[in-house]
Structures are given as structure tokens and as C-alpha cells.
């Protein structure tokens, strides 16, 4: 049923992260075991229980864009700026000549979360309408005086689809355009969808990406209420510890990851450099036992790719760094690889960059593509005392060479939305 | 129709929550009667806003649909609308009982929603914002905000604002363990969700998908945002006449709210379990204008490619289309560009094809609009009646199609086109056809 003749390959990458805002620095940071997690400097976090994050302290989108494109940045929240900056990097990296491709077959599929409001933008309106009683705003005043002091395009700075739309506008990408909002798994679902779109012959080239800044006072305040965030503020780079029994909780971050996914014939015709092939994808849900959905996602992706358990070098895991999720993920992976000759090995880059929400999966996918390109697997950081309830072998200490041609990527949400993809080394 | 896909997709269940009724029969009857669901906003005090009216859902109680709705206790209204519409759609498809007795494979039953964002706790958010800000120096005290926010925000409702929660609740409650997606492409979202859901079945990843959308932006920040963009009608003198798609005097859209859900199913799977087949979903395409975040491309390049692509995907010609359910928002630009695009793709056939916008009656359900409009197309084919565009009084020379003015029309359509176009240049078109075996 799948049109197998239309195979997808990765022909361009862009990454913005707290360990590097260009591919080379990011990759060297992963190999060197660098952590971008530090005390928050973008705002004063002292009233938050978690005061650390994978922050990109010096990010300035202007440095990435051509001069003519910079004035659009005014209508973009930081998250959207991350997306457009990273998209420019990915396009540059792919060396695609936009004048030589059919732009109606150039799509953009993104993962995105809630775009956090920048509080000062409505502060004047709020101040005019604040009532003495706590939690009360005078709506009659808001409808008149409040509206007068908010920028006319205010709402467009925060619509989740503006990442993919602004990117499509900057690059004249007129093909299928979608924004998937499934939190940590959004970017991996976006990859699966892009693959389907390419196979059904509605596009030849797609930007698959995600961007999110969670280092925002509103975001951090809200998420501090319902996420098990680490309070290990004294030693930020050691706080996030996937699969380690000394876990301290989640650490948020910001960044963007974008992959150019291209039909292989199209890529070869233009002489593109190929990082990796994308061979299979699977997704599943389980609201109570995520291990089941992770296992099924992996099995579906591997069956689609025609790969056996012994062909897979390792799994690039989500590695949330919370007890329940780590155990679910490890059990799901172990079950999917039951019967393999050697126990399956797992690595994760979460501890390097943090939880990036809508951009987690694509930043991690970029690391997978780089692994397959360079033949090296980054080690998991902060893995010192294995959690015995996580039945997988974690790659730690130092990077190791890639030994087999396939890598499986898993991502999921704690709500039970899971996905997996199979990527392959491209042999020239 | 050409048969280029091995796996055909049929609709076997539908459900709605709309300003014109929270079941399909009530809604469709109101549409044929040409009733307006617009009135003064009751969700909050909007009396001084430039727009103080909308098409709201009144008297909605999730408990009338789902006995134990405890998991939605802290959910926003989007999520509750979605649950009620999903329950109707699954029951309509004969599945509530069937799933309990294990007749369908839950692992091959996915969810693909185009459901809107959660709604901020406006009063607490803005009060804490004001409390952390000194207007005279324009200094913002972030630490004070963090402290205040942590004290006043409600844990459960904040968690449920996250964009993946609506689809999660449906999957968890109804036991739908296949792929789980939500997309948010503004006003095109639920159409795009339905189209991608169809593709999940076509390629064999699923046998069934619960697809649709839900949304309400009738809240202080929603109306603020759209009023600032001057996208909403401000016809306070005549709220029920404010949504007037394709009429020369149109001055913006009217907000609506609600949800539409469909059960999409692979044809053989539906036949095997003896499901009642309501219609066949035959075509889908999506494009981007890649032009501006605020305006459609003036020559409608994205819309044209989208409509054309959907017809080709369905393997039907424009002259076979018996009804176009237009995006028809009642804004100057949308209605002009959409008419232009239909004429461009349909050519000679544009002179004869009936086109209407139900947004004239129930307002714009934003992310949920496309799903409810597709359901309307299915009902139009099933009953042989096409809903009108109400408030159509002053012809616009740039909008010169047959908009089914003001009165429903009896007409047998075998194939319908449903368009959805969103902010940012998002275009989605769907083709739905009478099931003929």
C-alpha cells in the first residue's frame, strides 16, 4: 500500500540549542558530553522551585536572517524566531537552490506547543484594568482602554501555526503545511506525516521541524505547577539524569531542530549531500501503559522499514529523566527488541539540552542523522547509577562507533502518545 | 470516479456540538430553516468590546453525554465539546457497544484532531501581570509574577491547556490506541486533521480514525486578538445580520464555537462489521499560500492549487461537484479570493455549482469549522437539501457565484467540496461523495 518507490532521505539539518547554535558546535558538544543546562539568566527565576534550564542566552535571530527578512521578526515571539532562524540554517545546510525546485511541492510540517506569551506586551492593558480584588480584571475597561494599548498584530505572535507559516513565507514553500501539537512527540509525528506526504506524491521536499522556548516566565510558572521539574538548582548540569537512579526531575530548555526530508531521486538529481535515510515510522497510544504503545510504535516502524532486531545499532530514546517515564520507555524498548542477539543499547541527548517540548524530537532526530553520517554515537550524560528497573543497556561514558546501519528514534508524552522512526545510514 | 486507492475511506459516524444544536438533526434542521445562532456574548462581559456578539453554545453539559466525566473536571471547553461530539460519533457508528465487546482492533483505531488551544486563565493571568508591572517605569518584575502566578493559577486547568490534552482524553476514555495526532492550523485545522486521518487509513496504518475538531475563542483574549486584527464584524446594530458571506456589505466574521467529530473507516472494515455507511471521503489536499500571515494571496494561488488538488485526489471533475461548502467567512478578502479560486478551478462549471457558507448562521468555529462543514455536506447529500447563505442582500460584482441566497434548496448532490482556509495562509479542501457501493 505504501509507495515504496518514493524513499525519503535527510538532506539538510539545522539545530539551535543551548550547547550550540550551529551543527558543528552542537555535534562536538554532544560528543564532548557538554550540558547546556544552567541557571536561568533571561529573567529572574528566584521565586520558582526550578531555576535552571537549557537556555540559549545569546540567541539573536537577526544573526541568522538575511537583512530583507529581519523586519518580520517584530511579529514573532521568541519561539517563532527560533523556528525561522533554524529554518534558514537548515536551508543553507541543504544547499537547495529554491529557484530550481517546484515550490508547490515544497512542504513544511512542524511540531509546536503553546507559544508562551511575552508578558510585557499586555502589561499596560492589564495595569489599566486591574481591580483591587486579587484575580479580578475590569472587562468593561479592557474592551475600551485595554485594547487601545495592545499591538494590533499581538495575537499572530502566538498562534502555534505561525512557526510553520512564517517559515513557509520566508522560503516560499507552497506545498502541504501542518503544525502538530503533541508536546514531546510532536516533531516525530511531523516526520511520520512528512514521510506519508512524500509517499503519496504530494511533495518532493519537506522541512520537518519544531521550535519551542520554554525559558519564559509564564511558561516556567505554569509548568512548575504540573510538571515534575528538578529543584537541583545547585548543580544544574547534573540535574537531568535519564535512566539513572539518582534522578532529580525534568529540566526544560529551548531550541529548534529542522530536517530537510527529500525524495531520494529528487535529492540525487540535485547532487544533495545525504545524511541518512528515513525508512519507517509508527505511532500508538496507551493512556495507562506507555510501554505497550512504545513497543507497538517501534514494531510498526521496524516492520515498515523491513528491519530485524539485529540490524539496529541503538535506540535514540526520549529519556525523560523521570522514574515512571524512564521505566515505561525502557520496558517498551526492551519488549520490542526481545530476542535480539545482544541486548539493545540506548542513548539520549536530553541531559545535554533539556526538554524542548515541540522541538525535542527534531533536535534529537538531528543528532541521529549526525550519528549516522559520522558513524559515532554520543553517550548519555549523568548516567552513573543505573536504575535496575530500566531493562536496557545505556551508552554512557564516552561516544562509541556506530556498528550497525539502523537507528530507532522513540519519543512519547507522559499522556501516552508515542511514536518511533527507523533511520538508516546512507551508503554512497 | 477513478479508483486510484486500494483502500477506500467511508464515514460511519458523526457528532456535533454547535451554536445551532448539539446533535446533527437539530443543527441541520436549523441550517435548512436559515436560522442564526448569533446573539450577545454571554461567556464573559464583552459589552464594551468592539464586537460584543457571537454564536455561542448555550446550556451545554458534558454530563448529558458522558456519565462519568471526571477526567474532564479541569478541562477547557474545547476538550468538553470534543468529548460530547466524539461520544455521538462513536455511538452513531455503532461502536460504543462494539468496542466494549472487542469487535474492533483498538490498536488500529487512531485519533486525529484539529482541536484548538487551551484557554488562558484570563483574570488571574492579567491581574498577576499588572501586579508585577510598574507602568511609570515600564519595568516588569518577573520574580513577583512567578510567585503570584504560582499562588493563583489552578494546577489542573493549567495542565489541561496544553495542546496535546484534548486528543489524549478522547483516546484514553474511549480506548483508541492507534496513532494519536492533533494539528493546529488555525481555521483549516479540523479539515486538515480529517484529510490526514484519511491518509492514515489509506496507507494502512489504521482501519478507523476518530477525526474532527473543537474550538472556542469566545473568551476575552480571543475576542481581543481578533478585534485588534479587525477581522471580526462590528455590526453591533444587527448581530444576526453581521455574518453575511459574499454580500457586498460584509465587514468581518462572527465567532462561533463547538465541535465536529467523524468516524472514518476503511470500506471493507465497515462492511464486515455491518456499519451504516453515511458517505465516502474521496479527496483531500492542502497547500500554503506562503504569502503573508494576515492576508490571503490576492490571486488565490494557494486556494486554487488546493481545490484543484482535492478534486484530482478524488478523481472527480468540477462539473461533478453538486455543492461547494465554502469557507465563506464574511471578510472582504476571504470571500473575494475564494470566489476567484472556485471560478478559476471550475471554469464554466462555476456558473452552475451551488455554493453556500453556513458561517452566515453559526459563525466561525475556527479550528472546528471544517469538521462541522464536512458533516453538513454529508447531511446535504443524505437529505437532498442544500443549506443557504443567509443575510445575502447586496450582490458583490467580485463574488458572482450562486450562493444559495437565504433559502435552502432541494438539489441532489453526489459529490461535495468543502474548503477551509486559515490565518497564515493555510489551505485545505476535502471532497466527500455519496456512497454508491
CB contact under 8 A, A165 and B293: yes
Confidence (pLDDT) at B296? 87
**In chain A, positions 111-140, which contact chain B (CB-CB < 8 Å)?**
112-114, 117, 119-120, 122-127, 129-131, 134-137, 139-140
Q: Is the pLDDT of residue B103 over 90?
A: no
- pLDDT classification of B100: cutoffs 50, 70, 90: low
Q: Is the pLDDT of residue A2 over 50?
A: no
Confidence (pLDDT) at B1? 52
Rg of the Cα trace of chain B?
A: 21
- A424 Cβ under 8 Å from any chain B Cβ: no
Superfamily name with CATH number, domain B9-118+161-433: Thiolase/Chalcone synthase (3.40.47.10)
| pLDDT digit string, tens, across residues B122-140 | 999 999 999 999 999 999 9
Q: Is B377 a catalytic residue?
A: no
d(CA B258, CA B23): 11
CB contact under 8 A, A139 and B220: yes
Q: Which residue has the cell 553520517?
A: A373
Average pLDDT over chain A, rounded to an integer: 96
Q: Which position among B69, B169, B183, B187 bears the catalytic label?
A: B187
DSSP code of residue B384? T
CB contact under 8 A, A174 and B44: no
Q: Which position among B120, B215, B269, B327 bears the catalytic label?
A: B327
d(CA A181, CA B164): 6
Cβ–Cβ under 8 Å, residues B192 and B114: yes
Of B126, B165, B290, the CB nearest to A137: B126
β-bridge partners, A278: A8, A423
Over residues A379-388, the mean pLDDT reads: 97
What stretch of H or E contains A257? strand A254-263
CB contact under 8 A, B117 and A165: no
Confidence (pLDDT) at A323? 97
- Provide the CA B135 distance to its chain's centre, in angstroms: 40
CB contact under 8 A, B424 and A45: no
Closest-CA distance, A130 to chain B, in angstroms, reads 6
Cβ–Cβ under 8 Å, residues A199 and A420: no
What are chain A's domains?
Answer: 8-118+154-269 (3.40.47.10), 119-148 (no CATH), 280-425 (3.40.47.10)
CB contact under 8 A, A161 and B424: yes
Measured between beta carbons, the chain A residues lying within 8 angstroms of B150 are: 47-48, 221, 224-225
β-bridge partners, B20: none
Q: Is B58 a catalytic residue?
A: no
Q: Is the pLDDT of residue A55 over 90?
A: yes
* Portion of chain B with pLDDT greater than 70, in percent: 98
Cβ–Cβ under 8 Å, residues A416 and A332: no
Of A125, A165, A217, the CB nearest to B425: A165
Cβ–Cβ under 8 Å, residues B178 and A284: yes
Closest-CA distance, B337 to chain A, in angstroms, reads 17
Closest-CA distance, A137 to chain B, in angstroms, reads 6
- pLDDT classification of A234: cutoffs 50, 70, 90: very high
Confidence (pLDDT) at A1? 39
Cβ–Cβ under 8 Å, residues B333 and B292: no
Of B130, B180, B227, the CB nearest to A147: B227
CB contact under 8 A, A160 and B152: no
CB contact under 8 A, B127 and A134: yes
- pLDDT classification of A428: cutoffs 50, 70, 90: low
Confidence (pLDDT) at A269? 96
Closest CA to B194 of A411, A178, A167: A178
d(CA B354, CA A52): 59
Least confident interval from A330-334, B28-32, B103-107 = B103-107
d(CA B436, CA B275): 15
Average pLDDT over chain B, rounded to an integer: 96
The dihedral over CA atoms of A334, A336, A337, A339, expressed in degrees to the nearest 10, equals 100
Q: Where are the domains of chain B?
A: 9-118+161-433, 122-159
| pLDDT digit string, tens, across residues B265-324 | 999 999 999 999 999 999 999 999 999 988 889 999 999 999 999 999 999 999 999 999
- A303 Cβ under 8 Å from any chain B Cβ: no
Measured between beta carbons, the chain B residues lying within 8 angstroms of A8 are: none
* Portion of chain A with pLDDT greater than 90, in percent: 98
Q: Is the pLDDT of residue B378 over 60?
A: yes
CB contact under 8 A, B118 and A300: no
DSSP code of residue A380? B
Q: Is the pLDDT of residue B436 over 50?
A: yes
Q: Cell numbers for A79, please give them.
A: 519561539
DSSP code of residue A375? T
Confidence (pLDDT) at B294? 83
Q: Is the pLDDT of residue A3 over 60?
A: no
Confidence (pLDDT) at B98? 53
CB contact under 8 A, B177 and A113: no
CB contact under 8 A, A174 and B289: yes
Polymer length in residues for chain B:
437
Confidence (pLDDT) at B97? 65
- pLDDT classification of A235: cutoffs 50, 70, 90: very high
Measured between beta carbons, the chain A residues lying within 8 angstroms of B52 are: 143
β-bridge partners, B284: B430
Interstrand relation of A106-111 and A177-180 (parallel, antiparallel or unpaired): parallel
CB contact under 8 A, A143 and B171: no
Interstrand relation of A276-285 and A8-16 (parallel, antiparallel or unpaired): antiparallel
Q: Cα-flanking dihedrals φ and ψ of residue B383, to 5°?
A: -100, -20
* Portion of chain A with pLDDT greater than 70, in percent: 99
| pLDDT digit string, tens, across residues A135-162 | 999 999 999 999 999 999 999 999 999 9
Cβ–Cβ under 8 Å, residues A181 and B193: no
- pLDDT classification of B21: cutoffs 50, 70, 90: very high
Q: Which position among B69, B364, B377, B399 bears the catalytic label?
A: B364
Q: Which residue of A has its CA nearest to B142?
A: A44
Measured between beta carbons, the chain B residues lying within 8 angstroms of A417 are: 164, 167-168, 171, 180
DSSP code of residue A49? S
Over residues A318-324, the mean pLDDT reads: 97
Q: Is the pLDDT of residue A180 over 90?
A: yes
- B102 vs B55, which has greater pLDDT? B55
| pLDDT digit string, tens, across residues B386-423 | 999 999 999 999 999 999 999 999 999 999 999 999 99
Q: Is the pLDDT of residue A392 over 80?
A: yes
Q: Is the pLDDT of residue B15 over 70?
A: yes
| pLDDT digit string, tens, across residues B337-374 | 999 999 999 999 999 999 999 999 999 999 999 999 99
**In chain A, positions 204-223, which contact chain B (CB-CB < 8 Å)?**
217-218, 220-222
- A419 Cβ under 8 Å from any chain B Cβ: yes
Measured between beta carbons, the chain B residues lying within 8 angstroms of A182 are: 163-164, 167, 180-182
Confidence (pLDDT) at B102? 55
**In chain A, positions 26-55, which contact chain B (CB-CB < 8 Å)?**
43-48
Over residues A1-28, the mean pLDDT reads: 89
Q: Is the pLDDT of residue A168 over 80?
A: yes
CB contact under 8 A, A161 and B131: no
Of B133, B145, B288, the CB nearest to A175: B288
Measured between beta carbons, the chain B residues lying within 8 angstroms of A154 are: 224-225, 228
Of B6, B150, B183, the CB nearest to A180: B183
**In chain A, positions 265-284, which contact chain B (CB-CB < 8 Å)?**
282-284
What count of CB pairs under 8 Å joins A to B?
312
Q: Is B364 a catalytic residue?
A: yes
Over residues B14-20, the mean pLDDT reads: 98
Amino acid at each position: 500500500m505504501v509507495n515504496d518507490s518514493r524513499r525519503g532521505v535527510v538532506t539538510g539539518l539545522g539545530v539551535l540549542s543551548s550547547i550550540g547554535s550551529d551543527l558543528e558546535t552542537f555535534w562536538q558538544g554532544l560528543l564532548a558530553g557538554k550540558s547546556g543546562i544552567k541557571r536561568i539568566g533571561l529573567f529572574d527565576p528566584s521565586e520558582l522551585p526550578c531555576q535552571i534550564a537549557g537556555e540559549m542566552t545569546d540567541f539573536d535571530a537577526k544573526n541568522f536572517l538575511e537583512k530583507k527578512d529581519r523586519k518580520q521578526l517584530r511579529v514573532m515571539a521568541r519561539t517563532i524566531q527560533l523556528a525561522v532562524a533554524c529554518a534558514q540554517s537548515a536551508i543553507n545546510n541543504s544547499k537547495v537552490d529554491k529557484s530550481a525546485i517546484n515550490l508547490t511541492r515544497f512542504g513544511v510540517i512542524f511540531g509546536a506547543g503553546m507559544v508562551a506569551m511575552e508578558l510585557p506586551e499586555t502589561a499596560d492593558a492589564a495595569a489599566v484594568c486591574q481591580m483591587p480584588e486579587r484575580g479580578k480584571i475590569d472587562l468593561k475597561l479592557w474592551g475600551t482602554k485595554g485594547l487601545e494599548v495592545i499591538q494590533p498584530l499581538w495575537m499572530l505572535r502566538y498562534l502555534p501555526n505561525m512557526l510553520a507559516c512564517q517559515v513557509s513565507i520566508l522560503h516560499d514553500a507552497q506545498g502541504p503545511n501542518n503544525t502538530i501539537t503533541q508536546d514531546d512527540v510532536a516533531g516525530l509525528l511531523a516526520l511520520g506525516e512528512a514521510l506519508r506526504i512524500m509517499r503519496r506524491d504530494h511533495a518532493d521536499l519537506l522541512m520537518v521541524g519544531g521550535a519551542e522556548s520554554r525559558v519564559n516566565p509564564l511558561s516556567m510558572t505554569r509548568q512548575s505547577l504540573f510538571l515534575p521539574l528538578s529543584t537541583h538548582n545547585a548543580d544544574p548540569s547534573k540535574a537531568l539524569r535519564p535512566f539513572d537512579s539518582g534522578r532529580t526531575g525534568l529540566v526544560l530548555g529551548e531550541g529548534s531542530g529542522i530536517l530537510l526530508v527529500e525524495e531520494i531521486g529528487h535529492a540525487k538529481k540535485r547532487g544533495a549531500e545525504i545524511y541518512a535515510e528515513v525508512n519507517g515510522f509508527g505511532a500508538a497510544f496507551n493512556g495507562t501503559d506507555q510501554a505497550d504503545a512504545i513497543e507497538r510504535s517501534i514494531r510498526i516502524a521496524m516492520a515498515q522499514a523491513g528491519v530485524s532486531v539485529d540490524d539496529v545499532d541503538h535506540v535514540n530514546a526520549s529519556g525523560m529523566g523521570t522514574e515512571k517515564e524512564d521505566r515505561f520507555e525502557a520496558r517498551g524498548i526492551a519488549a520490542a527488541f526481545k530476542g535480539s542477539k545482544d541486548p539493545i543499547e540506548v542513548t539520549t541527548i536530553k541531559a545535554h539540552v533539556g526538554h524542548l517540548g515541540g522541538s525535542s524530537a527534531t533536535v534529537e532526530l538531528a543528532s541521529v542523522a549526525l550519528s549516522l553520517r559520522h558513524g559515532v554515537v554520543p553517550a548519555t550524560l549523568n548516567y552513573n547509577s543505573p536504575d535496575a528497573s530500566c531493562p536496557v543497556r545505556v551508552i554512557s561514558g564516552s561516544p562509541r562507533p556506530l556498528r550497525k546501519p539502523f537507528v530507532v528514534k522513540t519519543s512519547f508524552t507522559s499522556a501516552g502518545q508515542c511514536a518511533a522512526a527507523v533511520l538508516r545510514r546512507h551508503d554512497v | 470516479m477513478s479508483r486510484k486507492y486500494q483502500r477506500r475511506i467511508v464515514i460511519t459516524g458523526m457528532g456535533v456540538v454547535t451554536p445551532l444544536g448539539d446533535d446533527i438533526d437539530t443543527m441541520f434542521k436549523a441550517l435548512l430553516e436559515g436560522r442564526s445562532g448569533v446573539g450577545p456574548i454571554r461567556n464573559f462581559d464583552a459589552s464594551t468590546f468592539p464586537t460584543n456578539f457571537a454564536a455561542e453554545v448555550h446550556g451545554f453539559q458534558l454530563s448529558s453525554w458522558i456519565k462519568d466525566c471526571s477526567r474532564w473536571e479541569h478541562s477547557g471547553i474545547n476538550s468538553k465539546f470534543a468529548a460530547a461530539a466524539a461520544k455521538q460519533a462513536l455511538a452513531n457508528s455503532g461502536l460504543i457497544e462494539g468496542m466494549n465487546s472487542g469487535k474492533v482492533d483498538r490498536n488500529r483505531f487512531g485519533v486525529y484532531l484539529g482541536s484548538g488551544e487551551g484557554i488562558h486563565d484570563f483574570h488571574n493571568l492579567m491581574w498577576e501581570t499588572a501586579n508585577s508591572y510598574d507602568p511609570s517605569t515600564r519595568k516588569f518584575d518577573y520574580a513577583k509574577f512567578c510567585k503570584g502566578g504560582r499562588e493563583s493559577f489552578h494546577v489542573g486547568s493549567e495542565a489541561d491547556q496544553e495542546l496535546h490534552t484534548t486528543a489524549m482524553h478522547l483516546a484514553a476514555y474511549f480506548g483508541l490506541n492507534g496513532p494519536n495526532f492533533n494539528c493546529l492550523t488555525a481555521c483549516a485545522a479540523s479539515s486538515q486533521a480529517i484529510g490526514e486521518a484519511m491518509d492514515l487509513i489509506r496507507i494502512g496504518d489504521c482501519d478507523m480514525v476518530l477525526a474532527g475538531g473543537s474550538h472556542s475563542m469566545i473568551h476575552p483574549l480571543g475576542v481581543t486578538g481578533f478585534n485588534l486584527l479587525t477581522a471580526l464584524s462590528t455590526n453591533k446594530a444587527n448581530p444576526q445580520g453581521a455574518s453575511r458571506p459574499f454580500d457586498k456589505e460584509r465587514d468581518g466574521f462572527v465567532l462561533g464555537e463547538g465541535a465536529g467529530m467523524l468516524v472514518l473507516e476503511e470500506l471493507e472494515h465497515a462492511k464486515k462489521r455491518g456499519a451504516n455507511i453515511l458517505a465516502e471521503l474521496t479527496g483531500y489536499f492542502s497547500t500554503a499560500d506562503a504569502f503573508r500571515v494576515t492576508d490571503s494571496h490576492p490571486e488565490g494561488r494557494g486556494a486554487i492549487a488546493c481545490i484543484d488538488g482535492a478534486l484530482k485526489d478524488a478523481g472527480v471533475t468540477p462539473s461533478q461537484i453538486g455543492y461547494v461548502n465554502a469557507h465563506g467567512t464574511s471578510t472582504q478578502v476571504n470571500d473575494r479570493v475564494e470566489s476567484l479560486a472556485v471560478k478559476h478551478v471550475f471554469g464554466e462549471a462555476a456558473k452552475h455549482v451551488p455554493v453556500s457558507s453556513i458561517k452566515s448562521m453559526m459563525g466561525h468555529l475556527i479550528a472546528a469549522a471544517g469538521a462541522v462543514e464536512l458533516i453538513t455536506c454529508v447531511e446535504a447529500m443524505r437529505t437532498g437539501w442544500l443549506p443557504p447563505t443567509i443575510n445575502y442582500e447586496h450582490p458583490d460584482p467580485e463574488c458572482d457565484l450562486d450562493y444559495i441566497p437565504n433559502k435552502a434548496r432541494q438539489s441532489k448532490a453526489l459529490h461535495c467540496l468543502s474548503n477551509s482556509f486559515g490565518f497564515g495562509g493555510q489551505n485545505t479542501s476535502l471532497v466527500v461523495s455519496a456512497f454508491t457501493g
